[in-house]
Amino acid sequence: MALYNHGVHRNHFDVVFMDEAGTAHEVEAAGAACALLGRSGKLVLAGDPKQLGPVVLSEPASQNGLSVSLLERLMEHDLYQLKNGEFDPSHVTMLQRNYRSHPAIIKFPSDRFYLGKLTAHGDERQVMSLADWEHLPCRGFPIIVKCVEGINEQEESSPSWFNTTECLEVVNYIQLLLSSRPDVLPSDIGVISPYDRQVKKIRQLITSKNIPQGELGIKVGTTELFQGLERRVIIISTVRSDPLLLQSDDRFNLGFVNSAKRFNVAVTRAQCLMIVIGNLKCLAKDSLWKDFLTYCNDHGALISDRSNHDRCCIL
């Protein structure tokens, strides 16, 4: 509408490029394209249909398809499907070089979501810089999965969930990193949790330790807040410890369990080191999480809540 008001009418452009198309509502994307392009025009959609899509607050609207972006819906069409293991280059271009993460961090999402074609090409001095951290259960594999059996809690003022035990574990790792690695600054660390109340509790605890937050400090937020962002270190607090609550999460599209897109965003934000904190028995109820935990277990990255040197054997 803004372009129309400035005299830019339909057929003015031969090609329209739409960035972050995976997060745009389908009706908005289609409306903008129709307003700008004629029948001979071309529309190029850039985005990732395997990560978080449009935000739709209405449950009926979501159930009736409005949470599916135009990009994701087109990718389901036969024209954009794989043929003999490859996309038709005249219709789909898949970016295959990841310049963000350590190879161990990108390996599982590459295999699970991107046909194994996403390969690590980051600056080795950057992505390898924490692979030798002395607190890794397996040197050279910069992923830690810490088994914590906390309790899911709520407050009267909010329906959102939090897990105090995990909050304390998050801050313990932050303090351990900052004290043991002078090259790690607060601004290098990001903390992701799917629940607003957990985010608030972690922020409060970090503040009580006088650790900087915000643009010049640690960034704490939901998965949605971190889409498109990155940090040298990402700590993921999964929160859930009660398997009986997973069905409710699934219904209302909350949490990491049964949410492949939210999982994919969370585990692809880290450049050098990823720490996952959660109740692994609960997480393993989901097949995607179980496969991820198996991947980490195969590389010696799972540890129990008793000691940083005890392996966690739950798989």
What DSSP line would sit under the chain, residue for residue?
-HHHHTT--TTS-SEEEETTGGGS-HHHHHHHHHHH--TT-EEEE-S-TTS-------HHHIIIIITS-HHHHHHTSGGGS-BTTB--TTT-----EE-SS-HHHHHHHHHHHSTT--EE-S-HHHHTTTTT-TT-SSTT--EEEEE-----EEETTEEEEE-HHHHHHHHHHHHHHHHH-TT--GGGEEEE-S-HHHHHHHHHHHHHTT--BGGGSBEEE-HHHHTT--EEEEEEE-----GGGHHHHHHHT-SSTT-HHHHHHHTTSEEEEEEEEE-HHHHTTSHHHHHHHHHHHHTT-EE-SS-TTSB----
Choosing from 55, 80, 105, the residue where a domain stops is 80
Choosing from 80, 106, 122, the residue where a domain stops is 80
Residue 308 lies in a domain: no
Residue 310 lies in a domain: no
Residue 135 lies in a domain: yes
What is the pLDDT at residue 3?
A: 67
What is the pLDDT at residue 141?
A: 98
42 and 187 within one domain? no
136 and 69 within one domain? no
201 and 70 within one domain? no
Measured between its terminal Cα atoms, the distance across the chain in Å is 55
What is the pLDDT at residue 245?
A: 61
CATH code of the domain in which 75 resides: 3.40.50.300
179 and 221 within one domain? yes
Q: How far is residue 235's CA from residue 84's CA, in Å, rounded to a whole number?
A: 38
127 and 76 within one domain? no
User: Alpha-carbon Rg of the chain, whole angstroms?
Assistant: 21
What is the pLDDT at residue 310?
A: 47
10 and 120 within one domain? no
70 and 32 within one domain? yes
Choosing from 49, 80, 111, the residue where a domain stops is 80
109 and 72 within one domain? no
What is the pLDDT at residue 243?
A: 65
283 and 141 within one domain? yes
Residues of the chain with pLDDT under 70: 1-5, 242-256, 305-315
Residue 101 lies in a domain: yes
What is the pLDDT at residue 38?
A: 83
Residue 315 lies in a domain: no
Q: How far is residue 124's CA from residue 122's CA, in Å, rounded to a whole number?
A: 6
Residue 185 belongs to domain spanning = 97-303
Number of folded domains that form the chain: 2
* Pair of tokens at residue 315: 């798989």
157 and 59 within one domain? no
